[in-house]
Structure 1
Amino acid sequence: MPPAATDEFPIAVGKPEPRPKRRTKQEQRDESIARILNAAQELFITKGFNATRTEEIGARAGLTKGAVYFYFGEKTAVLLALLERVQTKVLEPLAQRLERRHGTPFDRVREFLLQQARLARDDPGMLLLPIMVSIEFAGVDDEPGKRVRWGYRRTAELLAAVIEQGQSDGVFRRDLKPTQQASLILALNDGAMLEWWRSEPRSTGRDLVDSLYTVLMSGIRSSPEA
């Protein structure tokens, strides 16, 4: 006979807990790819692309070396997939902000810097990866280096176009060429990210972002006397 209910051991009433839904093959595939990409991004940033072995990527992702080869074929394909993700989630949204027609040139540059700050806070790897790749692949005529250089060049061109418009409107200083100011913005932004990365402890990120924003926006803005 089943045990009777008591105050100490009440008998549960109700439907049994449903079994967890079994994941589809596509969901398993997507999860494995995401784990590989996240593991590779961390390793490429901390160790460098050339120093990272494929089996390390698999181990960090909780998978096998064969799984990495199965989904990507080679290590370079993993890096290219990461750079594609950076382009989709970082470069394209930033380009849209710079290319939009509403808002003053000052507002568009300001929003560009604020978006970079949000990325540095929420997903710093997205900004650190292209910086590290640009250093490691400098002067190398390989596809990863070409993609990163293209991304920097496009961003610099868009920034320069906004600054040039701001100079015509009297918003930005005119004693420096737009291309020079755009290059300076990118250089200082990358430098702030690298300083945050190597600082111990990494609690100075917000201070660096605030300082970068203050220096840049006051430095490129036209003075009342001008």
Structure 2
Amino acid sequence: MPTHDRRTRILDAAEELFAVDGFDATPTARVAEAAEVPKGLVFYYFPHKIDLLLTLLKERLPTPTKESVADVVRRGDPAGSLLAVHRSLGLEDHDSLVLRTIIFRESGTHPEVRDHLRQLRRSLVDLTESALDQAVEWTVAKKLLRQGAETFVAVMLDHANARRAGGALPDMKGAAAVVALAVGTPAPA
């Protein structure tokens, strides 16, 4: 059996078990059992249990880059561009939902996870600010662009979490319109 398949099965099992039972409540022996590999192989690939969790976050919940949404920005349409960024990021996708369940649960007790969450949020704000800056056709104060990006990211994260929890979804179109108005553009019809 190829090495990659075993490593992938370990990560798949860990992701599923961590999402259901939590990181601390999931022994590595259970991960090995679910992956159908010897326990020693888990430690071969992931010397410490925390390495399993961090690898899941780094490999399966990658930090988005400006290139990942470069094609969705429309000059002169900040609200539409923000909505396109939201759609292209797919924060409410199923795979992302499982990992976000893990990351939000574990961020309170594991500083490494909290750091990853902060980095993810920072990258989302940077990306959204860049998209907003590219979409407006005039100069907007950097502070205002940053505030607009932070506001929209907060709503995107709330939207993703509401989908995970089954709550009422925030109005993404309305949030994009508010941010667009804040930077001086008319709201979409």
TM range (shorter): 0.7 to 0.9
Give me the whole-angstrom Cα distance separating, in 2, the residues matched to 1:154 and 1:145: 14
Give, in whole Å, the separation in 2 of the partners of 1:189 and 1:102: 17
Q: Note if contact 1:120-1:193 (Cα within 8 Å) is conserved in structure 2.
A: yes
Aligned to 2:87: 114
Could you tell me which amino acid in structure 1 is paired with residue 132 of structure 2? Answer: I
* Residue 152 of structure 1 pairs with residue 124 of structure 2: no
Equivalent in the alignment of 1:216 = 175
- Say which is worse superposed, 34-43 or 105-114, in terms of deviation: 105-114
- 1:181 match: 148
Shift, 1:57, TM fit: 1.6
Aligned equivalents of 1:72, 1:41: Cα separation in 2? 14
Counterpart residue type for residue 115 of structure 1: S
Matched residues, percent identical? 21
- The match for 2:16 is 42
Q: CA RMSD in A?
A: 3.4
| C-alpha contact 1:42 1:125 (8 A) present in aligned 2 | no
Deviations 1:114-153 (A, max 9, x none): 1233x634xx23354246425532485x333323322221
**1:66-145 matches, cutoff 5 A:** 66-86=40-60, 90-92=62-64, 94-98=65-69, 103-104=74-75, 106=78, 108-117=81-90, 120-121=92-93, 124-130=94-100, 132-138=102-108, 142-145=111-114
State the alpha-carbon separation in 2 of the partners of residues 182 and 139 from structure 1: 28
Distance across 2 between alignment mates of 1:101 and 1:189? 16
Mapped contact 1:43–1:57 kept (Cα < 8 A): yes
Q: Which amino acid in structure 1 is aligned with residue 160 of structure 2?
A: M
After superposition, residues 58-69 of structure 1 pair within 5 angstroms as 58-69=32-43
TM-score by length of 1: 0.63
Question: 2: distance between equivalents of 1:146 and 1:154?
Answer: 12
Structure 2: gaps spanning 5 or more residues: none
Work out the CA distance in 1 between the residues paired with 2:63 and 2:127: 11
Task: Report the residue type matching 1:217 in the other structure.
Answer: A
CA distance in 1: counterparts of 2:148 and 2:19, whole angstroms: 28
Give the Cα–Cα distance (whole angstroms) in 1 for the partners of residues 146 and 134 of structure 2. Answer: 12
User: What is the letter of the counterpart of residue 68 of structure 1?
Assistant: V
Which one has a bigger Cα radius of gyration?
1
Deviation of the 1:110 alpha carbon: 2.9
Structure 1 gaps, min length 5: 1-24
Task: Check conservation: 1:134, 1:149, Cα contact below 8 A.
Answer: no
